[in-house]
Structure 1
């Protein structure tokens, strides 16, 4: 699943307005205009059937969302939903982490949305059940683990898509 598609689905599921998208990106450390947000939220030709390909404009109106941009958005979403984190006494102020890890985008999505919306494992299982996906707590735990852990499991596109679908059902009705 493309990062642009993740942004589109997450925006719909959480009913985030364009102005809020700009603010969330800013909280994540990226300055972006409202026009650029609209370009990020444009679907590419790959999403449409080939028979309609001639009717669709070129991808000049689309900005590809890379992993760094998506991570900045998700970090901003955490700050937007939960407020800025207060540093503990004696702890130096650390900049938001932009990990250069090879962690799956889908795993990162699930972890950061879980934090942003203060979801428990049971909440996430309920959200997935809304999308008709059955998962055990231990399977979910494997997806939420740090990459490199012996029980780490990579999250597939279909699973991430169903999680976003379940979020939309839960938050949009």
Structure 2
């Protein structure tokens, strides 16, 4: 899935403004300006739209974890992980929103995209492990849709 779409969807789901999005980035010690953010959030056909890189998305997701759960000063800062794929996005969102397996099933069910327990657990396995399954764009899109329904009602 395109990182710009994920960023735009999460901004809508959380019902936050640009200033708060910039604060999320600052939680991950990443500096982003208002015009840069605005260029990421432009619709797909706009000629001024700038593609959100994996590095920017990785910093946003790490900042979101800190924003939602708080920073733990007792632990050393984790290095930012990229390249980003749909599985990493799903894992980071699971951590940020403190979602359990039942919550994930409920979110996907709310989006009319039921997934079995083995299928769901395969998404969170380490890449290269025999039961690993890559997260498709459709599953991530429906997860974001269900998350929006959960957060915004």
TM category, shorter: over 0.9
Within a 5 Å distance, the mapping from 1:23-172 to structure 2 comes to 23-45=23-45, 57-58=46-47, 61-87=48-74, 93=76, 95-100=77-82, 105-172=85-152
1:4 maps onto 2:4 in alignment: yes
Cα distance, 1:100–1:8 mapped onto 2, change above 3 Å: closer
| Whole-angstrom distance in 2 between the partners of 1:16 and 1:151 | 37
Q: After superposition, give the CA deviation of every residue in 1:26-76 in whole Å (9 maximum; x if it has no partner).
A: 11231011222111111222xxxxxxxxxxx52xx2221011110110000
Which TM-score applies when normalising by structure 2?
Answer: 0.93
RMSD: 1.5
Larger Rg: 1
Structure 2: gaps spanning 5 or more residues: none
CA deviation after TM superposition for structure 1 residue 100, in Å: 4.2
Equivalence for 1:15: 15
Give the Cα separation in 2 of the matches to 1:106 and 1:29: 23
Gaps of 5+ in 1: 46-56
TM-score of the superposed pair, with normalisation by structure 1: 0.83
Q: SS at 1:43's partner residue?
A: coil
Distance 2:29 2:146 in 1: 28
**Structure 1 runs of 4+ off > 3 angstroms?**
none
CA gap of 1:21–1:152, structure 2 versus 1, over 3 A, is same
Separation in structure 2 between the aligned mates of residue 78 and residue 117 of structure 1, nearest angstrom:
8
Aligned length: 153
Q: Distance in 2 between matches of 1:138 and 1:97?
A: 30
- Please tell me whether the aligned partners of residues 39 and 62 of structure 1 are also in contact (alpha carbons under 8 angstroms): yes
CA distance in 2, matches of 1:39, 1:28: 20
